Structure 1
Amino acid sequence: MKHRLMIVVLLALTSGFIGTGNARESRNARAESVAGVFDYYVLSLSWSPTFCLTHQNDTQCSGKGYGFVLHGLWPQYAKGGWPQSCGPRVPLTAAERAKGLTLFPTPKLLEHEWSKHGTCSGLGAMGYLQASDKALGAVKIPPQLQPLNSSYYFEAEEIARLFRQSNPGIPDKGIAVICSGPQLSEVRVCMDKDLSFSACGKGVRTQCRAGEIRVPPVR
């Protein structure tokens, strides 16, 4: 009798563990990336000279004199994280590719950004590219951070302040400065779904060391 009772208990416990696992998998399934289901955008502007320090053979690094370039327009969740690679993934048409190359510095970056981030916008490829164009046009680059012929040094908060001065609608928590080691790498500006400036969600914050950071010259 005791032996039979132990078997029943073990079976019940095993069923409980299986149920817990199924519930966890179900939660994960509901959290899968779905096109159009997100809270806001991050417009990521890459400082091309820093990228070119470690990617000298990339086509954007062939003496074109880029300063800030469009890295991407990224759908984000307010509570942190982001959707990516949403289905159905449709290849870019020739017209969409031509439009994209007026915004992104290289075909490789265009394809990557559309596949990973653009597919989650729910706008379709041309709609996503038009939104990227609108977002890019809404941000004025501070005159102090136009393409430079020699290295400059700023603190990260000073770079954020210069952007807010040139773009008065950006709130205090609506911009993040990203560094690669001691160099400026990116500036990320948060926008709502209507592409108006907004506060950033969880996880989007400045990532630079304290003190001055280097802004490398154009290549």
Structure 2
Amino acid sequence: MQMGFAFMAVVALFSATPSIAQAWQCRAPKYLPRPALELPGPGQIRRTSIGGYTLALSWSREYCRGRDRDPVMRFQCSGEIGDFGFVLHGLWPESNGPNYPQYCRKVGVLRREIISRNICMTPTPQLLQHEWAKHGTCMAKTPDAYFGAARLLFNAVQFPDMDRLSRQVERGTPLTAAGLAQAFADINDGLPAHSVKVITNGKGWLQEVRICLGKDLKPRRCPRYAQGLAEPSAIKVWRGR
């Protein structure tokens, strides 16, 4: 189930041009707290076979709404280390059905060097620990290999102009899940719109964009069990303060 060396050779799957960074002026702080150990609960260990992957990209502006003074979310939401647009929620292994593998083995707390190397991609130490414990352990032997592959994929994605898209509604043109998926497809060579799923909260505000990948890590049509809005669903994009 674990990734081989070939996984680490993945480069620019969607476009030959590197993406504009989504972490504007991000700099890892000199001191970073270590996260808490995360262990699987009863019945959470699941070692099913891998049939593909999901690259989950969170829209940080929405997530941080009202959290700018939350000490737990200090790095992502306070502006202390940077201004974030899309951040990497995680790289997840998928099965050929809804029972994806998770918590494939118990692991210790991530080293501070690993957190520092990835804090501008996933700006919450505890989330980095969670992603490694829950998903990475089913894909790679080491956190360096797992997060290295995640960085390659994240950095390969081009991001559309979210400010412009967010203002469509104000101009009287609805933004739909299909429209946002197409915006990603238009700017990323080799990424079809049917490989993109859009997630919103209960009030219709964008939370996440998920890119469906095959076992070869190339974009694939999202399977039926993949979560996401119906294509005609209207969405709103919070631009932040």
The residue that corresponds to 1:120 in the other structure is 138
How far does residue 198 in structure 1 lie from its aligned partner after superposition?
1.9
Distance 1:49 1:67 in 2: 6
Write out aligned runs for 1:89-108 (5 A): 89-108=107-126
Matched, 1:213 2:235: yes
Q: Is the partner of 2:130 in helix, strand or coil?
A: helix
1:71 to 89, 94, 99: 89
- Would the alpha carbon gap of residues 32 and 94 (structure 1) be closer, same or farther in structure 2, given more than 3 Å must change? closer
1:160: which partner in 2? 181
| Offset, 1:151 | 5.6
Paired residues of 2:197 and 2:227 also in contact (CA < 8 A): yes
Identity %: 34
Answering whether residue 54 of structure 2 is matched by residue 48 of structure 1, we say no
Gapped runs of 5+ residues in structure 2?
1-42, 170-174
Q: 1:47 to 1:208 in 2, by over 3 A?
A: farther
Query: Normalising to structure 1: TM-score of the pair?
Result: 0.74
In structure 2, the CA distance between the partners of 1:206 and 1:104, relative to structure 1 (3 Å rule), is same
Q: 2:78 aligns with which of 62, 75, 79?
A: 62
Query: Could you tell me which of 178, 184, 207 is aligned with 2:199?
Result: 178
Structure 1 SS opposite 2:128: helix
What is the Cα-based RMSD across aligned positions, in Å? Answer: 2.7
In structure 2, C-alpha distance between the alignment counterparts of 1:39 and 1:213, rounded to whole Å: 30
Alpha-carbon distance in structure 2 between the residues aligned to 1:65 and 1:151: 20
Q: Tell me which protein shows more helix as a share of its residues.
A: 1
Paired residue type of 2:90: G
Please state whether the residue corresponding to 1:176 is helix, strand or coil. strand
Structure 1, unmatched stretches of 5+, are: 1-28
* TM-score of the two chains, using structure 2 as the length reference: 0.68
C-alpha spacing 1:54/1:93, structure 2 compared with 1 (3 Å): same
Flag the structure with larger Rg: 1
